[in-house]
């Protein structure tokens, strides 16, 4: 059971890293320019999409564990 838990944890980490890497790189590249302009705002559509990805992954893992 420990091996299964370790594999699931590794899979979760890899999926989250793959999904969040472009978002984090884009935010890091855009942050200095936006801060310099002084009118930095968060994009609600991007936040909603991030929450949707997390919820889909959670549903996938719960379905996998229950099955």
For residue range 19-65, what is the model confidence (pLDDT) as tens digits?
766 666 665 566 555 555 556 677 888 889 988 998 998 898 888 88
Domain that residue 18 falls in: 2-66
- Cα 43 to Cα 2, 16, 36, 61, 64: the distances in Å are 40, 20, 18, 28, 32
Contact 23, 46 (CB under 8 A): yes
Number of domains making up the chain: 1
pTM given for the model: 0.41
For 53, the token pair is 């990805």
Residues in CB range of 65: below 8 A, 6 or more apart: 8
């Amino acid at each position: 059971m420990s091996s299964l838990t370790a594999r699931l944890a590794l899979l979760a980490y890899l999926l989250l890293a793959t999904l969040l890497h472009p978002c984090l790189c884009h935010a890091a590249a855009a942050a200095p320019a936006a801060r310099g302009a002084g009118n930095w705002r968060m994009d609600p559509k991007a936040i909603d999409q991030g929450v949707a990805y997390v919820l889909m992954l959670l549903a996938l893992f719960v379905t996998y564990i229950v099955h």
